[in-house]
Structure 1
Amino acid sequence: MSDWLPCPYSSSYRFGVKKVRAQWDVLHALDAEPLPENEAVLHAWALFHSGKFEAAEAAGLAAGSAGMSVANRATAAYATLLEPHEKTRLDLYQRILQRALQDTALHPTRASAWYWQGYALGRYAQGIHVARALAQGIGAQIRFALETTLQLAPNHAFAHASLGGFHAEVIDKVGPLVAAMTYGARADIARRHLREALQLAPDSAAIHWDYASALLMMNGTAHLDEATRLQEQATQIKPRDAVERLWVELARTHLSL
């Protein structure tokens, strides 16, 4: 019996291989993922966009190396948006990390491999406390992985948002002076990457949410109005798939509190 909770919106967003192929550029404005030639990988992506995350992970892994990105994105979506237990989330991020490390070793020019390495490390760092993670040298690994992603795929909106969020998290945890002098983390760099992410994917609730979260981490009081505006904009976005619907509902729930 599966331990993964079902996505509550999977019946509202149904994708097949044909539909995913036709809408690929729109669906993947966030991750700059190239259109797969492998039908099995496209099937895994159809499961993902339908909100069937566990099935998408399994199908991606079954497709071999070509399906690693969809397997990792499905696991990340479930861990971040649906899994209620912190320990289980951390275990899932570790699962992504181990796969991403193997993927980068085998495919060092694959942008998605580097992105999922940086993403998983970043989420893991949040789970164990960012300051502790920085002391362990994880911050440098996150930054290197995300910057490598952008060298390989400059239009990777998720990587821009994650790198901007990384700078914001470091500033939040150690202060702007130490962040800049010790870790090279600066508010202007965070802003630049977040703006780029929003420009690349202006209709993404996930990017609006990440941008707002980063602003609040850097200076919550000063940026509260702007962050609230971004969250409100997220609630008005029409979701294209089940994953985007989860981000929209997250923003709606947060604003109603």
Structure 2
Amino acid sequence: MKHPATPPPDASTLPAQWQRLHELDGEPLPQEPTLLHGWALFHAGHFEEAELAGLAVGLSGLSLANRAAATRATLLVPSEKARLDLFQRIHARGRAHAAEDQNNPNAWFWLAYALIRYSQGIHVARALAQGLGTQIRAALEKTLQLAPHHAYAHLALGGFHAAVIGKVGPLVGAMTYGARAEEAMIHLREALRLAPDSAAVMVEYADALVAMEGEPRLAEAVRLYEQASNVTARDAVEQLWVELAQAGLAL
């Protein structure tokens, strides 16, 4: 993996960069030195070590542990089975986190994110049949109730609407699962407004457009991928999204 254009933060420089690095998840700056060090590991790309550091802290470290594991599962792990196992682990931890800290938006968000990625792995239609769609939507709506400006939750909820419509069509999607194209676009646009220079938002926005509408949105999706491929990565995590966009354009 290439290093980002700017040096990754360490525990001493991370607080000054925190807000920009966390425009997606809105995670509050931790006060515990051990947890701050764990987040520095995460932003430097040491995801397994960051996950372990988060788990070692306990409840307040679960957002770190889950984001580190989710990043690795989404962007680095090649095995589908290993990815699904990771997402199941994240979901279980997210449920426990939400039960213990019900007013923590990221407890609900990582629970939902894990279910979304797990659903993609077992195919969305099968996941919907198992009732996972209702759980995903409820957890994302809870996230946004607690944190209305949570860019990642808007992105995920928009993507959820788009994926359902893409799999079952707009009529069944709306009547059975409450998935609507206009709702997808409201959330996707809000994510882009909240994090306009995020490579992750650009890539996920593009994928949602294609999932929902296919060929008519392909040119717009390509433009978003091009923009994402030229982002100056602020940390090792974003560098992975930039490289994903570059790889997508090369196909």
Interval of TM-score (by shorter of Structure 1 and Structure 2): over 0.9
Number of the residue aligned with 1:189: 183
Contact kept in structure 1, 2:4 and 2:239, CA below 8 Å:
no
Number of the residue aligned with 2:22: 28
Residue identity in the other structure for 1:111: P
TM-score, structure 2 length as denominator?
0.98
TM-score, structure 1 length as denominator?
0.95
Query: Are 2:61 and 1:67 equivalent residues in the alignment?
Result: yes
Number of the residue aligned with 2:123: 129
CA distance in 1, matches of 2:101, 2:166: 34
CA distance in 2, matches of 1:177, 1:23: 45
Q: 1:8 to 1:78 in 2, by over 3 A?
A: farther
**Between the two proteins, what is the percent identity of the paired residues?**
60
RMSD: 1.3
* Deviation for aligned residue 1:9: 3.5
Q: 1:181 to 1:10 in 2, by over 3 A?
A: same
Query: Are 2:167 and 1:165 equivalent residues in the alignment?
Result: no
Counting only pairs closer than 5 Å after superposition, residues 142-221 of structure 1 correspond to structure 2 as: 142-221=136-215
* Deviation for aligned residue 1:10: 8.1
Unaligned runs of 5+ in 2: none
* Deviation for aligned residue 1:11: 11
Greater relative contact order structure (CA < 8 Å, 6+ sep):
2
Q: Quick one: which of 8, 32, 44 aligns to 1:50? A: 44
* Deviation for aligned residue 1:13: 4.0
CA displacement, residues 89-136 of structure 1 (integer Å, 9 cap, x when unaligned):
000001100100000000011000000010001111111111011111
* Deviation for aligned residue 1:12: 7.4
Q: 1:82 to 1:219 in 2, by over 3 A?
A: same
For the residue of structure 2 that corresponds to 1:23, the secondary structure is: helix
Query: Are 2:242 and 1:252 equivalent residues in the alignment?
Result: no
Contact kept in structure 2, 1:216 and 1:223, CA below 8 Å:
yes
Contact kept in structure 2, 1:171 and 1:186, CA below 8 Å:
yes
CA distance in 1, matches of 2:89, 2:3: 25
Contact kept in structure 1, 2:55 and 2:61, CA below 8 Å:
yes
Query: Are 2:205 and 1:228 equivalent residues in the alignment?
Result: no
Residue identity in the other structure for 2:172: V
